[in-house]
Amino acid sequence: MRNEKADTAKNIATILAFGLLVLVLSATVQVPIQIASATTAERVIFCNLNAYPGDTITEDMTLYGDLPDRTGSWRIFYKQIEGDSEKMDITSWIEVKPKDYTIKTGEAKHFMLIINVPSDASLGLWGATSEDAGIAGHAAQRRTYIEFKDADAEAVVQGAGSTTYTGIRIPVSVNVLGTPEKPSPFEGITDTLKSNILSIAMLAVIVVLLVILLRRRKT
């Protein structure tokens, strides 16, 4: 019995010693920490926007800060591929205001996408190879993008400070339409005549009758 009690006591002591060792090690060993960065966009495609030469397109955009506060900026990007026509690169048309931003946790930040279509732009699709670029899963047709990047300077990797960049490219394309025909100066008069044709006809009949009556009286 004494041997069994002694063995039990030894086992308990061993377990306690092992547990104490685990606690000490967990207190002294640094576990790598990674803080994820996340900024989400309300709209991720601006494709097939219709405009005439010389038009200015304005679109509202919103970014949401989902995790710790971060700063960032917008840039305009062209994905160059051999064989592309000059219509693929419309970066010179595009501006995002404001360019730089700071987004707090849970904040919605609003921006303006401004596209100035040149007055000499030829007709057709610009910024993408086909109108299918506006459909999810057709990234191969996209060429011109706006891109937001935010830098989370608080990210910690294995105890050392670092900068983690997150963001997304949003495709942009414009369908330049033919210049609308200038309205004829007589268009308003024509429309008035068409809408009042019955009244005009009745007036003409009355005038003719009056002329006939006047002639009869003179004779």
Query: What pTM did the predictor assign?
Result: 0.62
- Which pLDDT does position 141 carry in this prediction? 96
- Which pLDDT does position 17 carry in this prediction? 53
Cα dihedral 35→40→45→46 (10° resolution): -120
Please write the tens of the pLDDT for every residue from 22-31: 444 444 433 3
- Which pLDDT does position 206 carry in this prediction? 81
Domain ranges in the chain are 39-176
- Below-70 pLDDT ranges, the chain: 1-38, 151-166, 179-188, 190-191, 193, 218-219
- Which pLDDT does position 201 carry in this prediction? 78
Beta-bridged to residue 129, according to DSSP, are: none
Q: State which fold the 39-176 domain adopts.
A: Immunoglobulin-like (2.60.40)
Beta-bridged to residue 110, according to DSSP, are: 62
- Which pLDDT does position 6 carry in this prediction? 54
- Which pLDDT does position 32 carry in this prediction? 32
Please give the sequence-ordered ranges of beta strands (E in DSSP) within 32-143, or none if there are none: 39-41, 46-51, 56-65, 70-78, 94-97, 100-103, 108-116, 124-126
